[in-house]
Chains A and B, each alone.
Chain A
Amino acid sequence: KQEVTQIPAALSVPEGENLVLNCSFTDSAIYNLQWFRQDPGKGLTSLLLIQSSQREQTSGRLNASLDKSSGRSTLYIAASQPGDSATYLCAVKGSGAGSYQLTFGKGTKLSVIP
Chain B
Amino acid sequence: EAQVTQNPRYLITVTGKKLTVTCSQNMNHEYMSWYRQDPGLGLRQIYYSMNVEVTDKGDVPEGYKVSRKEKRNFPLILESPSPNQTSLYFCASSFPGRGNEQFFGPGTRLTVL
**Do A and B come together as binding partners?**
yes
CB distance A107 to B42 under 8 Å? Answer: yes
Count residues on chain B whose CB falls below 8 Å from chain A CBs.
26
Say if the beta carbon of A46 comes within 8 Å of chain B: yes
B interface residues with partner A (beta carbon < 8 Å): 31, 33, 40-45, 48, 50, 56, 58-59, 88, 90, 92, 99-107, 109
B59 to chain A: which residues have CB within 8 Å?
101
CA distance A93 to B33 in the complex (A): 13
Q: Is the contact region of chain B dominated by helix, strand, or loop, or is it mixed?
A: strand
Count residues on chain A whose CB falls below 8 Å from chain B CBs.
22
**Which of A31, A41, A45, A102 makes the CB contact (< 8 A) with B109?**
A41
A-B contact pairs, 29 of them (CB 8 A): A31-B100, A32-B100, A32-B101, A34-B101, A36-B104, A41-B107, A42-B107, A44-B90, A44-B92, A44-B104, A46-B101, A46-B102, A46-B104, A49-B101, A89-B43, A91-B43, A91-B102, A93-B100, A100-B33, A100-B48, A101-B33, A101-B45, A101-B59, A102-B33, A102-B102, A104-B42, A104-B43, A105-B42, A106-B42
Minimum-distance CB pairs A-B, first 7: A44-B104, A104-B43, A106-B42, A43-B106, A49-B101, A43-B104, A43-B107
Distance in angstroms from A58 CB to nearest chain B CB is 16
CB distance A100 to B56 under 8 Å? Answer: yes
CA distance A70 to B42 in the complex (A): 23
